[in-house]
C-alpha cells in the first residue's frame, strides 16, 4: 500500500511539512514522485519512518539518526530490539523516580521515613542509566568496560553533598561556556583557563584516576559526536568547541 504525503502525515501523527523536510535532507525519501509532484511512500518508507520516530523519542538528533538508518547493514528487527531495551530502561527509571516522589510525600506527611541517601539515590541511578543509554556503546568502545564501570560506581557512591557539588559544578561550567562564547572571549584567555580547570575538577568526581590525555580525548568527542555537541551547544552554539580548545591549550600532559 502506498500513501501520499498528507495520508502518511496523518497516519504517523506528524506534519506534512516534516515529511517534506525529511525528504529534502535525505533522511526519508519517497518511493516515487508523480509527475504532479506528489510524493508517495511504500511499506519500506513507512517502516523507516517508524524507526525515525522511535529514535527521535529516544532523544537522538536527525543527523545521528540518518547515520544509523542509512548504514548498508541497518537491521530493523535489531533496531526494534534496541528500542525495546531502551524503553524498558526508561520505564524502570521513571518507576524509580515515581517511588521516590511517593516516599518523599509520605515522609513529609509523617506517614513514612526517608533518609537523605534515599532522596538522591534515584537521581544518581537515573544519571547513570541515561549516560549508558545515550553514550554507553561509544564510550565503552573508546575507554573500555573497566573505566566506564568505575565511572558508574563513583556516581552511585557520591554522598548527598558530593552529588550536589557535582551537579552545581556542571551547571557552572555550562554557564561560563555560554557567557564566554556570547562575549567572544578566546579559549586561550583567563576565562578559558578557569573553565578548563573547572571541567577537570568536574571529571574528578567520576573518574577513578584523572588523566590529561583522556581529558583532551574526551573533549574531542564533545565536538565530533553530535550528541555531546548538542548537549553543550543547546543554548549557545560554539560551547563544545570552546571547551575543547580551552582544555587543549591549558591542560598540560
pLDDT of residue 87: 81
Q: Is 33 helix (H, G, I), strand (E, B) or coil?
A: strand
Q: Are 154 and 206 in contact (CB under 8 A)?
A: yes
| Strand pairing report for 32-33 and 39-41 | antiparallel
The whole-angstrom separation of Cα 206 and Cα 139 is 14
Instruction: With cut-offs at 50, 70 and 90, classify the pLDDT of residue 28.
Output: very high
The reported pLDDT for the residue numbered 243 is: 97
Mean pLDDT of the chain: 86
CA distance 103 to 108: 9
> Which residue has cell 573505566?
147
- Looking at residue 59, its pLDDT comes to 77
Query: 216 pLDDT exceeds 70?
Result: yes
When mean pLDDT is compared across 17-21, 56-60, 101-105, 210-214, the lowest value belongs to 101-105
DSSP assigned state of 54? H
In this prediction, residue 115 carries a pLDDT of 60
Confidence category of residue 165, pLDDT binned at 50, 70, 90: very high
Burial 199-225 (b: 16+ CB within 10 A, else e): bbebbebbbeeeeeeebeebbebbbeb
pLDDT band at 145 (very low <50, low <70, confident <90, very high): confident
* CA dist., res. 141 & res. 86, Å (int): 19
Of the candidates 231, 99, 117, 209, the one whose C-alpha atom is nearest the C-alpha of residue 164 is 117
Torsion (CA) 112, 115, 118, 123 in degrees, nearest 10: 110
| Distance in angstroms (rounded) separating the CA atoms of residues 94 and 29 | 35
Rounded mean pLDDT, 113-119: 61
CB contact at 8 A, 202 and 172: no
pTM of the shown model: 0.53
pLDDT at 156 over 90: no
pLDDT at 133 over 80: no
Contact 11, 3 (CB under 8 A): yes
223-248 confidence digits (pLDDT tens): 988 888 888 998 999 999 999 999 99
Model pLDDT for residues 173-198, shown as the tens digit of each residue:
999 999 999 999 999 999 999 999 99
Check residue 142 and give its pLDDT. Answer: 72
Confidence of residue 117 (pLDDT cuts 50, 70, 90): low
Amino acid at each position: 500500500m502506498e500513501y501520499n504525503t498528507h495520508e502518511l502525515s496523518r497516519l504517523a501523527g506528524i506534519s506534512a511539512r516534516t515529511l517534506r523536510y525529511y525528504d529534502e535532507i535525505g533522511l526519508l525519501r519517497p518511493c516515487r514522485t508523480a509527475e504532479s509532484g506528489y510524493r508517495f511512500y511504500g511499506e519500506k518508507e513507512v517502516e523507516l519512518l517508524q524507526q525515525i520516530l522511535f529514535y527521535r523519542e529516544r532523544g537522538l538528533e536527525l543527523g545521528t539518526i540518518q547515520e544509523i538508518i542509512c548504514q548498508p547493514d541497518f537491521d530493523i528487527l535489531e533496531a526494534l530490539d534496541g528500542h525495546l531495551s531502551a524503553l524498558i530502561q526508561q520505564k524502570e527509571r521513571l518507576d524509580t523516580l515515581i517511588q521516590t516522589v511517593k516516599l518523599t510525600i509520605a515522609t513529609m506527611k509523617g506517614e513514612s521515613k526517608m533518609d537523605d541517601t534515599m532522596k538522591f539515590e534515584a537521581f544518581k541511578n537515573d544519571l547513570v542509566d541515561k549516560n549508558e543509554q545515550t553514550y554507553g556503546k561509544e564510550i565503552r568502545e573508546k575507554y573500555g568496560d573497566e573505566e566506564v564501570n568505575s565511572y558508574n560506581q563513583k556516581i552511585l557512591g557520591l554522598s548527598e553533598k558530593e552529588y550536589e557539588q557535582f551537579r552545581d559544578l556542571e551547571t557552572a561550567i555550562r554557564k561560563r561556556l555560554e557567557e564566554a562564547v556570547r562575549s567572544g572571549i578566546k579559549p586561550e584567555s583567563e576565562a578559558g583557563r578557569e573553565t578548563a580547570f573547572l571541567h577537570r575538577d568536574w571529571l574528578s568526581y567520576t573518574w577513578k584516576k584523572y588523566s590529561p590525555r583522556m581529558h583532551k580525548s574526551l573533549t574531542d568527542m564533545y565536538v565530533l559526536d553530535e550528541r555531546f555537541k548538542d548537549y553543550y551547544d543547546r543554548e549557545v552554539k560554539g560551547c563544545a568547541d570552546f571547551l575543547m580548545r580551552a582544555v587543549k591549550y591549558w591542560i598540560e600532559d
